Amino acid sequence: MVGLTGCQFGSSTEEKMYDHLEETVALEEQFREQQKPLAEAEKKEQDIYNEIVALSMDEFDKIEKLSKEAEEYTVKRLEYLKKEKESIDEAYEEFEEIKDLSEDLEGNVKEDANTVIDKMDKRYNAYEKLHSEYEAGVKEDKELYSSLQDKELTLEQLQDQIKVINEQYSKVAEQKDAFNKYTSEFNDAKKAFYKSAELDVNYGE
């Protein structure tokens, strides 16, 4: 819990910026709420996939049934992803309110505010790429489960699809690292700005 103490809200540019920055964090709550169910859906889908690959083609009925179940989890993941993106987009829109306000600042405070803006812009761009790559990965997973319901699927076709999926998720991992890096840098920049703006912020730590 972050709180501003000993100041009258709205009485300075810095305090207005504080309001927008903390509202940005609050608006990302839905993004944070999607992480657990998304990870759980990923795990359940992976467990089903492991069951499928342990079966032989003589058990096609089981493969077909499990593939349909796994496909349902890809749909759930896309739903969580949609909510996640809505939250990030709404938060970024709120964040952009500080850009005009920062023009009224001077000296070190302005420099620190510009760093906050730069880090959030980079973080948002990294999220856009992460979202795009992850969505593509889920769609490739869905394609895999759909193809597993086809008796005519060859081992070569299956291996090709798995290769595509593995390559896609290595792109996801790369973008996730970039997003996490900019999130950490943004949080540090925000604290530095609050300090140089002499805002008496209680981080509740």
CA distances from 7 to 10, 115, 116, 202 (A): 9, 24, 22, 12
Give tens-digit pLDDT for 40-65: 999 999 999 999 999 988 999 999 99
Return the pLDDT at 51: 97
Return the pLDDT at 1. Answer: 45
pLDDT of residue 203: 65
**Position 3 pLDDT exceeds 80:** no
**Is the pLDDT reported for residue 179 higher than 80?**
yes
Could you tell me the sign of the dihedral formed by the alpha carbons of 121, 124, 130, 131, in that order?
A: negative
Q: If DSSP states are collapsed to H, E and C, what string results for 19-83?
A: HHHHHHHHHCHHHHHHHHHHHHHHHHHHHHHHHHHCCCHHHHHHHHHHHHHHHHHHHHHHHHHHH
**Is the confidence at residue 180, as pLDDT, over 80?**
yes
Whole-number Å distance between alpha carbons of 171 and 164: 11
Domains and CATH numbers, the chain: 3-202 (1.20.120.570)
Q: Give me the half-sphere count of Cα atoms (radius 13 Å) on the Cβ side of residue 32.
A: 8
Instruction: Convert the pLDDT of each residue in 84-133 to its tens digit.
Output: 999 999 999 999 999 999 999 999 999 999 999 999 999 999 999 999 99
What is the rounded distance in angstroms from the CA atom of residue 101 to the CA atom of residue 98? Answer: 5
Contact 43, 99 (CB under 8 A): no
Give residue 57's pLDDT.
84
Give the whole-angstrom CA distance, residue 98 versus residue 109.
13
pLDDT of 11: 64
Residue 190, SS3 per DSSP: helix
- Residue 112 near residue 197 (C-beta atoms within 8 A): yes
